[in-house]
Amino acid sequence: MVIDRRRYARVVVLTGAGVSAASGLRTYRGPGGVWEEHDVERLGHVSALTERPADVWRLFGGLRQSVLAARPNPAHDALARWQAELAQGQELLLVTQNVDGLHQMAGSRNVCEIHGNVLHSRCGSPDCTLAQFRDEDPHTSAVPSCPLCRTAVRPDVVLFGEELPALPSWTAKRALRDCDLFLAIGTSGSVAPASSYVRGAEYAGARTVYINLEPMKDPNPAFQEVYIGRAEELLPQLLGM
Ligand code: OAD
């Protein structure tokens, strides 16, 4: 089975942690997953920023170090190449739940990072004017503080209990409204709101495809097609590359 890329004018691709597994990055759920080792309620929730900021930095600082050592794999490369080979009048929006920046490193453009980027930090105060900035320091030994207001600085990732960043979230929803092909790749489909994007795509009349190492725990009937396997192997095949 091959997806004929010439047939689709408005494509939305949603990626999750499974796409970066072959780059050596851990997924969140399942064996060896981040939330298998750490309690998601304890460290993945926004309340952890005030209750245990040093633990939050130990976790995300560690992820930051892994991300700095990681490189794109054939799944990232296939998506970047697809975007580079679009014909006139075709659009592809890449929406990612990943915070690793590997799609951009592979050459993808206009990536919607709906969960932020772990290589960025920002002041924890919503009132502070400090701009979000690239930060390669893992801060695993001390919590950094804002040079302007002294509030604790935090990794720029979306934690449970927080709103998604407005622009990427709005851009994704707008593209879903009239897409004709929707692919979800390497995601367990268990985290809202990305887990319901497929329903928006189905409503728009799109072909909906799920590509993942394992079937969804609660299969989503909005997916018309399911391909089980490794994204780095399946994706180049499905896209005929
Ligand atoms: P999950 O860890 O929930 O799911 C990753 C999926 O990838 C699993 O279903 C695996 O079976 C699958 N997988 C593993 N290796 C794969 C491979 N080589 N090819 C294809 N699939 C593979 O990750 P997400 O769905 O991305 O939030 O999780 C969503 C959000 O939950 C994350 O963005 C994260 C987390 O809390 C933040 O970090 C802000």
Quick check: 40 pLDDT over 90? Answer: no
Give the number of the atom of ligand 1 that is nearest the alpha carbon of residue 118: 38
How far apart (Å, rounded) are the C-alpha atoms in residues 21 and 231?
Answer: 9
Q: What contacts 150, CB < 8 A, 6 or more positions away?
A: none
Q: Which residues contact 234 (CB under 8 A, 6 or more apart)?
A: 211, 227
Q: Is the CB of 226 under 6 A from ligand 1?
A: no
Q: How far is the CA of 71 from the centre of ligand 1 (A)?
A: 17
Q: Which residue, 196, 205, 197, 224, is CA-closest to 8?
A: 205
Q: Specify the residue with its C-alpha closest to ligand 1, atom 18.
A: 230
Q: Cα(8) to centroid of ligand 1, in Å? A: 26
In short, whether 59's Cβ falls inside 6 Å of ligand 1 is: no
Q: How confident is the model at residue 42 (pLDDT cuts 50, 70, 90)?
A: confident
CA distance 208 to 184: 8
pLDDT at 2: 85
Please give the Cα distance from 156 to 154 (Å, whole number). Answer: 6
Lowest mean pLDDT among 34-38, 74-78, 126-130: 34-38
- Gap from CA of 79 to ligand 1 centroid (Å): 17
First to last CA, the chain: 13
87 Cα to the center of ligand 1, angstroms: 31
Among the residues of the chain, which ranges form H helices?
34-37, 40-43, 48-51, 53-69, 74-84, 102-106, 166-176, 197-203, 231-238
Q: Are 96 and 117 in contact (CB under 8 A)?
A: no
pLDDT at 39: 86
- Judged on CB neighbours under 10 Å (0-12, 13-18, 19+), 148 is exposed
User: Quick one: pLDDT band at residue 133, thresholds 50, 70, 90?
Assistant: very high
Is the pTM higher than 0.85? The answer reads yes
What's residue 127's pLDDT?
Answer: 95
What are the catalytic residues? 115
Read off the pLDDT of each residue in 22-45 and give the average, rounded to a whole number: 90
Contact 95, 83 (CB under 8 A): no
pLDDT at position 41 is 80
**Residue 23 near ligand 1, beta carbon < 6 Å:** no
pLDDT of the residue at 19:
98
The answer to whether residue 1 scores a pLDDT higher than 80 is no
Mean pLDDT of 66-73: 98
What 3-state class would DSSP assign to 202?
A: helix
